[in-house]
Structure 1
Amino acid sequence: MSDNSVDTDGGISNNICNPASLSGDNVDSNIIISRFVIEEYVVKRYEDAMDWAEKIGNKPTILIMFGYIVGIGTLAVLTALNIFSESTRELLFSATFGISVGIGIILWVLKRIFLKYANKQDMLEPEAAIYHRFARAIQEYMNNNFENSMNEIKSAGKMMNYEEQKPFPPRVSKELFEYTETVSERDSVDFFKSSFPSIANKLITLMTTVYIFEHEDLYKEDISMLEQAQETSPRDMILSYLRALTQNRVVRIVLPYVIAAPILFLVYQENKQAAQILAVIVVAVVQTYYKPTESD
């Protein structure tokens, strides 16, 4: 791909043009760009969650398939060489397959948690996070913060790769994604400084069109401050998921019985009649003193 593969309607420019010159009579593109800047911490949480989900990817399925193939292969070799008894060989196969399935299930659950965490962020749509990154890139560039601007472009490219998000028409989105890849590969501020103005002009035109024809009623506030946000760890996402889970009314109703079940089982092992009496007491206490409402 060439250094400036995304062209502008007016041709390649060496400088970002005055935003207002790209707008209509009553539309200031500089204001429009600021409208696409939303809360950074929301975008960062979405980005971190999607990043971890992408890292897991298809690993659960691969692990299960790998465990099955290795288990079958091990079983076949041990059987052919007549090593160990049949029951031991079957146990080894079950252990190998069981461990891989267990790890695969854990990874699958974690991926679902990360995706759920990403989707619950207060954004209008996933494309809003990409618009945010592009808008910040333009603002940072115009403030001569070239390295910050380059990092925003890299982040935009990563998010465009999540589930193949296309914030603009497919051809343009493809060209923009290729540009973000080139910026990431070269990792050169000098290259970025010389190549980004033409991309910025194109982005300003595209975002003006998006704002006018699609999102004018959605972007009202001007959040122009370029604040930074801390990284969200997998632990934070998992804890957030568990906290949300405990707020579920059904879970809150069932939870006391789940906690009491092991105790009742231990008592039942010693004295069935005592376990029955204790079970009645538990139900009576829960019904009397623990009644989660809809507001809970």
Structure 2
Amino acid sequence: MSEQEATKSTTDDESRESDSPRNSQPIISSFTIEEDVVKRYEDSMDWVVKTREVPMMLFGGVYFITMMLVFVFIILLNTSATLVENVAGGLVVIGVIGAFIAWLIKYVSKKSAKKQNVTRDEAVYHRFARAMDEYVNRNTKSSMQEFQSGVKMFDYKDEKPFSPAFSTELEEYNERIQEDDGEEFYNRTFSQVLNRLTDNMSDIENASLEYLYVEATSLERSDGYTLREILKSYFFDSIGSRAVRIVLPYVFVAPVIYAIYTFDERIASITAIVLVAIIQTYNNPEE
């Protein structure tokens, strides 16, 4: 390393140390909660946001394409309406199925997020606390990722986690990070944001009893929570409920009984009685 580079590095370190608030560590400890729980909440809510507008977009797309088909093929080309009706019908079916899938993903993801027992604000404060900790420890890239994840969570609710003015400042700063030199810009400027965050989070801590009792938590980064895991967890939990355990077996055996019924009504009746007895025994085990 050249003398100039060494001097610059030393200057940056001294600047960071002088700009960093001395009371940031208590704030970091107070607002850091379980990372696994926050990551599952974050991944679940990301899917809620992604699918939020999908049903309306699909229905709008189907309507637009159908109108174009009617205009082009019937009005301009004088084509038979049968073809247009078939194509439009297929589009409607695709749109309805797609909208249902998007709604199902959104519904299950919202249930998954709620199951974590973490609020949006708690998750945001956790991300910012980790960003502060990583920055103080000179892990600029990790700090920037944590900060950007925290700002992204603002979209999970209409209300802001801080005052409207400060929340807007954080969002604008996040946009600057993406527009400017990224990590270099963040490394150069975040010390000032850190001071503002510390002040605002200190006010929140002092105003809420929730953060007076600090628990030891892990700071390790979680691997995440995929959509497949979200859906799998939800449906396995649903299968565990008594109502589903009672209804689901009948859903599966009904087609079997019907298939037997088409060949022999007597055998179908006997099979139905036996299966019902087995299902009832399963759902009402002896104490």
Normalised to the residue count of structure 2, the TM-score between the two structures is 0.85
Aligned partner letter, 1:269: T
Q: Of 224, 227, 233, which residue of structure 2 is paired with 1:231? A: 224
Q: 1:142 to 1:292 in 2, by over 3 A?
A: farther
Q: Which residue of 1 aligns with 2:263?
A: 270
* C-alpha displacement of 1:163: 2.8
Tell me whether 1:45 sits opposite 2:45 in the alignment: no
Q: Which structure 2 residues correspond to residues 85-234 of structure 1 after superposition, within 5 A?
A: 86=82, 88-123=83-118, 125-216=119-210, 219-223=213-217, 225-234=218-227
The code of the aligned residue for 1:205 comes to D
CA distance in 1, matches of 2:86, 2:140: 60
Measure the CA separation in 2 of the matches of 1:273 and 1:69: 54
- 2:136 maps to a residue whose letter is M
Provide the rounded CA distance (Å) in 2 between the counterparts of 1:247 and 1:206. 43
SS at match of 2:19: coil
CA contact (8 A) 1:154 1:184 kept: no
Q: Which letter maps to 2:271?
A: L
Instruction: Report the Cα offset of residue 216 of structure 1.
Output: 4.1
Rounded to whole Å, the distance in 2 between the matches of 1:185 and 1:164 is 25
Distance 2:26 2:110 in 1: 32
CA-CA distance at 1:237 after TM superposition = 1.0
Compute the displacement of 1:89 (Å): 4.1
CA–CA distance in 1 between the matches of 2:153 and 2:188? 24
CA contact (8 A) 2:29 2:214 kept: no
Return the letter of the residue paired with 2:260.
Answer: V
Q: Find the residue that maps to 1:166 and give its secondary structure.
A: coil
Checking the alignment, whether the CA contact within 8 Å between 1:36 and 1:219 is kept in structure 2 is no
Unaligned runs of 5+ in 1: 1-12, 20-28
CA RMSD in angstroms comes to 2.3
Q: Deviations over 1:52-74 (max 9, x none)?
A: 22222311111122213323442
Partner Cα distance (1:18, 1:142) in 2: 10
Give the superposition deviation at 1:193.
Answer: 2.1
Q: What's the counterpart of residue 25 of structure 1?
A: none
Q: 2:275 aligns with which of 282, 285, 292?
A: 282
Give the length in aligned residue pairs: 269
Sort the Cα spacing of 1:245 and 1:218 in 2 relative to 1 into closer, same or farther, 3 A. Answer: farther
Q: Which amino acid aligns with 1:253?
A: I
Structure 1 residues 236, 158: CA separation in 2 closer, same or farther (over 3 Å shift)?
same
TM-score normalized with structure 1 length: 0.82
Deviation string 1:142-172 (CA, Å, 9 cap, x unpaired) is 1111111111111111111223451112222
Q: Which runs of 4+ in 1 moved over 3 A?
A: 75-86, 215-219
Q: Which residue of 2 aligns with 1:4?
A: none
- 1:157/1:180 contact within 8 Å kept: yes
Which structure is higher in helix share?
2
Partner of 2:5: none
Q: Please state how far the C-alpha of 1:32 moved relative to its aligned partner.
A: 3.3
8 Å CA contact 1:14, 1:194 repeated in 2? no
Distance 1:89 1:193 in 2: 59
- Match 1:59 to one of 54, 57, 80: 54
Q: CA 1:120 to 1:289, structure 2 compared with 1: closer, same or farther past 3 Å?
A: closer
Structure 2: unaligned runs, 5 residues or longer: 1-16
Distance 2:142 2:254 in 1: 55
